Structures are given as structure tokens and as C-alpha cells.
Structure 1
Amino acid sequence: MDKEKKLNGGRDKSKDSPRTGLEESFVLYDHKKLRMGYTTGSCAAAAAKAGTRTLLTGVETEEIVLDTPKGIRLHLPVEDIHIQRDESGIPVKVCCAVRKDGGDDIDATNGALIYAEVSCTGEAGVTIDGGEGVGRVTKPGLDQPVGNAAINHVPREMITKGVLEVCREQGYTGGISVIIRIPEGQKIAEKTFNPRLGIVGGISVLGTSGIVMPMSEKALIDTIRVEMKMRRENGGEYLVITPGNFGERFASEMPDLVRTHEMKCSNFVGETLDMAVDLGVKGILFISHIGKFIKVSGGIMNTHSHEADCRAELMAAAVLRAGGSADLARKILSTNTTEDALKILKQEGGDGLFDASMKRITERIGFYLNARVQGRIETGAVIFSNDFGMLGRTENVPDLVEKLRKQG
């Protein structure tokens, strides 16, 4: 095998077009085939491995092979290669990049160049740090200790493995310094959870498998857990949790509510409760639009429309429990949104039936939240409507609000 092919992972680039190894890798979501991608961690590891090979051979590495923790082998093109040489022409520093491809996932980092700057050091081993655009950890409870670059442990392991592999190939026994840079990182970070997590100055280098699975619920749940763990280790025994922006906005209008430890759970109510128990949280106050949490009143713990709907059915059932007529229930069953259902209930049932129905809904929400955690933590909920404001709250909400106030 000639030197060019060896540097490029054993493939002759002149004979075929670049193939990453994911061309036939898809996941099915909503009856569509979505293309898989690779993580920022894979990009960082690939760039570090390519940079080390260029540093130790003096020949530009235009493609690098990377084995991911998921077991998929990637062939990644290397871009923007810069070699700094000493007076005798020996490389002393190499900087190169691999471009992030998140596949068909919704990903703020897609297309970003992930750079690795590598150089030799006197001491054996691989040292890893972050430069421009890589965030710094400022709060305990995250994957890395306070002060470290936000390069998670699996990407660090991948970087180390790839660099040492090249060192063994080339018979080099010294040390290698790797600095990861992401020039667009600080701008991209504004679109991520990093500011909420106390990661400043850029994005995190992430990935546990090395591969991006489009529309991955696990990835979203993992993100929720990361934030909850951080808040718990920073004094958040009691949390305010909203499904999304509507809830966050309504919470901001509650004058007595201390929101120091507030976070979002998206549609994953059940998983959020489970992880709260596991992490030692003492209490959660949920604040949600009724369109989401009316589903919880029926024991539905994933509120995404792909999982379940039943909004009109649950509203109609509450109205019947509160003494409403079958004719009114049938009208509510014909509505498309909870806001429409509330308008009909208000117009035809009056304030008394309206309030009684909301009471039944909040009672059932409280029942199912407590059933999920089996009484191991305190749970409560406030539900609201865009048109009618606060609709109801579980009976323990004042107690939770006071505990949040004392917690500060």
C-alpha cells in the first residue's frame, strides 16, 4: 500500500468519491427515512487524529478513519490544514478541521468546522484543552469539573485513543497536546442550553456514541437530565419545570414564584419525574398550558401528539364529572384545541361549571403525578390558558411556592 493510501485509511481517493461510512445509515421517524450524522466529539477526535498523523509524518492527511463507540467506522474528510515547521522543515504544530454533519437531525452545530491544534510535548500522554468557541464549565454537576473545557469524557476518550493509535503507528513515545477550537462556537452557543447550564464562551463537545441519531428522544432526555443534575448540585432541591416557552412565560408573570431553579422538560413528563427521584430532588412544581397537561390528567406521561392526544375526550370527561350535560360534552368533543373547548365551556356552562371542571382536571393531574413518583417526592401543578389565564392548581401549590422561596 502506498503512502498516500495509508494516510487516507487505506482508500485511494483518486478512484472514488468521498464516502463517510453513513451513506446507508438511516432511522425511521414519522414514516420517513432520516439520515444519521456524526457528533462534535467525533469531529474533534478525527481532527486530532488527522493532525497528529500530519505532525508526525510531515504529509497532509486529507481523510481520516475513525472508529466510533457505536461501532460504526467513519471516513471523514479533513479541511483547512495548516502546518507550522521549524527552521529545518520539521512540523512543530498542525491545525486542521473536520466539518460537523448532523445528518437530518435539527442541530445548531451542523456544518461547523471543529478544529484540532496539535503539537508535541515533553511528557508522555495526551493533554486536551479547549480554545476559541469551546465553552468553559462554571457550575458543578456537569460532565467536567468547574474550570475545564466543556469537552465531555467520551469525546476526550475518543481523542486520546485516536492520537495514541497514530503515535504507536509512527513509533513516537513523547506527548501530544490537543487544543480543540470551534470558531463559530460562541455564536452557536446562544442557540443551545449552555447558558442555562453555566457553560460560558462557546459550545460543548458532546457525544456518547459518536453518531447522531435524528430526532432522538434519548438525546433530549439526556439533556434534561444534565440540566437537572446541575441544578440539584447547585442547591436546587425544589424545581420549577415547564414543558416549553408558554409555561416559562406564564411562570415569569407569577409574582410570588422564585424561579432560580427553573428548567424545561419538553414532552417528557414521566421521564422528568423519574430522574428527579433518582437525583434526589425533593419537589417539583410544574407550570403548563392546559393543552399539554390535560393529557397528564389521563395518566399520559409523554405529551407529544405522536404518543397520544385525547385532549377533547379528557376535557369532556371532566365536564361530565363536574355535572355538565351530555350535549355540552359532545360539543367539546368536536373541538380541535383546548382553547376552543374552554370557550364553549365558559359560554354554555357558566363560571360555576367552568371552575368545577378545572378543579376535576387539576385533581387528576395531581393524582397521576404523585402516582408516577409513588409519593417519594412532592409534586404539584399550575395549569393555564392563553385566553383565560390561570385555570387551576393542585392543592399543595402554595406549599411548593413557599419552599421555592425559602430555597432562594
Structure 2
Amino acid sequence: MNGLENKYIIKNNKRLRYGYTTGSCAAGAARGAVRMLLSGESFSEVTLNTPKGITLTLALHDITRGENYVSCAVQKDAGDDPDTTNGILVYVKAEKFFSENTENSGTHPQIILDGGIGVGRVTKPGLSQKVGEAAINPVPKAMILREAEEAAQEYNYEGGLKLTVSVPEGEEIAKKTFNPRLGILGGISILGTSGIVEPMSEKALIESIHVEMKQHFCQGENYILVTPGNYGADYLREHMTIPFENNIKCSNYVGETIDMAIDMGVKGILFVAHIGKFVKVAAGIMNTHSHCADGRMEVLCASAIRAGGTLECAREILEAGTTDEALAVLERYGILKETMAIVMEKIQFYLNHRSYKQIVLGAVVFSNVYGLLGQTRDAKKLITEIKKQSEKL
């Protein structure tokens, strides 16, 4: 019983369990390690109040003791969220130290917090932590220090404490995360703004996009290069002459990406995207996930009619199963180029509509079969700005 037994959401007709973050794991392990260090006793579990307002009961694992330290771990439970860190052990080692000039790395003057094995180190500016610091985000950091401080007060301890968070599997897991792109090397980040993992959380993914965009912006990139996924990144690398390694992946969140860029002060975004995703933007669809909306064939059909397509052409497009099948129909009827020009006009219109023309937006759209299909009116300007920007950085 960890306190989440009755916490769930219903999504796609399924009941999905809540879980808890690596930040909660570290905070719980910190409380357990400090209590055992100062009391000399052993505990099998601790309770933890999360920022979400949910109280967790967390089991303590792999307890080890030394002359002046105690180490223990809490196992991550992501609930029914597809989280790469699910099941890992997050350790905290608590050590006593005595110094008249205790270095302050947190809110408590006598507690030092750092990352050990498997916790990443920040190597680029633009993140919440300074270059060289452990990748422990602000809310988890505050949680860890609070739990350690409360445990110290419980035993009237006034000396110093050094806390080291480590994740033995962290370096390997980090390869599957955004961390290498963000310049966080050597391990995972200790995350969680609420202490709780909401299953299938879109909020977490959007926040990761925001973090990556902020880092690029803080490094002087006023014009941002965005791809929805791997197709776009591959196309950039193989067919375009702009620096593909600087691209940010926005997944399906086109609208949110634009909103965040405006709020941040970004001057422009160039999207490089597969037609299967971005044809939806030509209908004003700003979340391109199939569960939110489709309309691919309808957009292509309407655009084909505007380009002079026949009723039979329109019917064949509507019966197509994929965008490449629809493109084959357009090519066979000799109106592929004309139809794509109309699609590009609509994409530009709806990008500007989302942003109220506050920043420059454009798109380069391609197909894996047919190659470059077109680019919107402002794409050329953005390509030029991104190249100039790259030369300066």
C-alpha cells in the first residue's frame, strides 16, 4: 500500500494507475537514510507528503551502513505510464560532516546535496541548474532538502549532512531520454513538479519540449528548427543544408510549441515535417495525433479540387489509406504540384492564425516516397536566418 491505490484516470476506456516520480523516490530515500543515520535504528518504509497533496508510503530497499553514513533506495513506480525509469532504484547516501563553514547548496545551510553515479551533470547553459551541477530539478531538490531537514530536526541534530543521490542504471537509461540533446551527460535527471506521475501525461512531454527550446534560446538561437519526429530529423540530415543537429522534436504538439516560443521571445520557427503529420495543420489541426483528429484525405481532396481535380480524382483520394497513396493519385492525375502549393498556403495561414503573426513561422513538407513536396511562403526566410544564426554561434 503506497497511497496511490485509488488514484487513477480513465483514458481510452482503460483505468490507468498513478505513479510517483524519481524526485519522490529521492526525497523518500533521503528521509529514510537520514533517520536511520541519526537514530541508529532500521526502518522498512517512510511517509512522504508530495506537492500534489498526496501522501505516499514508500518502502526502503538495499539499506547499507558505514561508520559515518547510511544508504538506502526507493524503487520507482510509474504506475501505468510508459516511463523508461519505471522499476529503477533511486539511492540516497546520507553522511555526517562537521565544518564551521558549511558550503550551502540548498535552502538549509548545513545540508549539501549532490548527484552521484547515474545522475546526469549539466554541461550547457539554459537549464534550471548551472553548468557543472547535478541534474536535480528545483522541486525535487526542495523536496529532498525538506525531508532531510525534518528528519534532522526530529533527532535534534545540528551538524552537517551530505546527501548524494545515485541511480545505478541511470547512465544507460539516459540514452533513451532527451538528456543527451540537452547536454546532460552521465545519467538521468531527478524530475517531478508534483511528485506524482500521471499516466500517459501529455504535460510531461510538453514540458520536456519547453526545456529543450529554452536551452536553445538561451544559447542564442532566436530562430528555432523543429521536427515532429525522426522522419523530419532524417530528412534534415540527408536533404537540407541547415544544421540538423539543432532540431527540437515537438511530437504532435505543434500548437503548444508555437505558444511556448511566443512566450519565450523566440523570433521564428521552421518546421520540417512529413506530409502525414503536417497536412493536418492545413486544416487548422494543431495537435496532429490521430486520436485528436485526422482529416488528411479530406484536406488533400479539397485541395485537389481547388487545383482542378475531377470528381473521380477526389473519390480516389478519399479512399486512400495513406498520404503516399493519395500523393500517387495526385501524381497520376497530373496535379500533385498544384495541390501541394494550395496545401502550403493553408499551412502558412493556420500557422499565422495560431500565432496571431507575432513570430515568423514556416514549414518544409516532404514525403519519404516523393521527397520535397513544398514549403510555405516564409520558409525560405527562416532557412536563411537559421543558417546565419548557425554561423555566428
| TM-score normalised according to structure 2 size | 0.95
2:53 counterpart of 1:77 = no
- Give the % identical residues: 52
Question: Partner of 2:249 in structure 1?
Answer: 264
CA–CA distance in structure 1, aligned partners of residues 241 and 368 of structure 2 = 20
Q: Which whole-Å CA distance do the structure 1 matches of 2:372 and 2:219 have between them?
A: 30
Q: Is the 8 A contact 2:140 2:191 kept in 1?
A: yes
Aligned mates of 1:128, 1:201 — CA distance in 2? 17
Distance between the aligned counterparts of 1:394 and 1:254, measured in 2?
17
Map of 1:384-399 to 2, 5 A cutoff? Answer: 384-399=366-381
Q: How many Å apart are 1:265 and its aligned residue?
A: 0.3
Q: Which residue of 1 aligns with 2:25?
A: 43
Report the equivalent of 2:106. none
Secondary structure of residue in 2 paired with 1:207? coil
User: What are the equivalent positions in structure 2 for 1:107-256 lying under 5 Å apart?
Assistant: 107-122=83-98, 123=102, 124-256=109-241
CA distance in 2, matches of 1:279, 1:359: 31
Supply the distance in 1 between the matched residues of 2:15 and 2:94 (Cα, whole angstroms): 38
Q: Give the 4+ runs in structure 1 shifted more than 3 A.
A: none
**Amino acid aligned to 2:21:** T
Aligned residues: 381
The one-letter code matched in structure 2 to 1:389 is G
* Alpha-carbon distance in 2 for matches of 1:137, 1:74: 30
Name the SS of the counterpart of 2:353 in structure 1.
helix
* Contact kept? 1:79, 1:97, Cα under 8 Å: yes
Deviations 1:197-224 (A, max 9, x none): 0001111000000000111111110000
CA distance in 2, matches of 1:64, 1:342: 60
Whole-Å Cα distance in 1 between the matches of residues 348 and 240 of structure 2?
Answer: 23
Alignment correspondent of 1:354: 336
Equivalent in 360, 370, 382 of residue 378 of structure 1: 360
Unaligned runs of 5+ in 2: 103-108
Cα shift at 1:260: 4.7
Distance in 2, matches of 1:382 and 1:120, equals 58
- Max Rg structure: 1
On the 8 A contact 1:258/1:401 being kept in 2, the answer is: no
2:308 matched to 1:326?
A: no
1:2-17 alignment to 2 at 5 Å? Answer: none
CA distance in 1: counterparts of 2:193 and 2:36, whole angstroms: 27
CA distance in structure 2 between the aligned counterparts of 1:69 and 1:175, rounded to whole angstroms: 26
- Describe the superposition over 1:19-60 as per-residue Cα deviations: whole angstroms up to 9, x where unpaired: 111111111111111111110000000001000000011111
AA of the residue aligned to 1:36: Y
> What are the superposed Cα offsets for residues 218-258 of structure 1, whole Å, 9 maximum, x if unpaired?
11100000000000001111111010011111111224222
Give the unaligned 5+ runs of structure 1.
Answer: 1-18, 86-91
Q: What secondary structure does 1:253 align onto?
A: helix
Give the match for residue 14 of structure 1: none
Equivalent residue number for residue 274 of structure 1:
259
Amino acid at match of 1:193: F
1:312 is paired with a residue whose SS is helix
Q: Where does 1:301-316 land on structure 2 (aligned, <5 Å)?
A: 301-316=286-301
Work out whether residues 236 and 261 of structure 1, in 8 Å CA contact, stay in contact via their aligned partners in 2: no
Distance across 1 between alignment mates of 2:12 and 2:214 = 31
**Counterpart residue number, 1:59:** 41
| Alignment deviations for residues 376-403 of structure 1 (CA, whole Å, 9 cap, x no partner) | 1111101111111111111222221111
1:256–1:401: 8 Å Cα contact kept in structure 2?
A: no
Aligned partner (choices 360, 365, 371) of residue 347 of structure 2: 365
> Does the CA contact (< 8 Å) of 2:233 and 2:244 recur in 1?
no
Deviations 1:68-111 (A, max 9, x none): 000111111100000112xxxxxx10011111111111111111
Give 1:340 shift.
Answer: 1.1
Q: Distance in 2 between matches of 1:259 and 1:327?
A: 40
For 1:357 and 1:59, how far apart are their aligned partners in 2? 74
Partners of 1:30 and 1:244 in 2: CA distance? 24
Cα RMSD after superposing both structures: 1.0
Q: Does 1:31 align with 2:13?
A: yes
Verify the 8 A CA contact 1:142 1:226 in the aligned structure 2: yes
* TM-score for the superposition, normalised by structure 1: 0.92
Q: SS at 1:66's partner residue?
A: strand
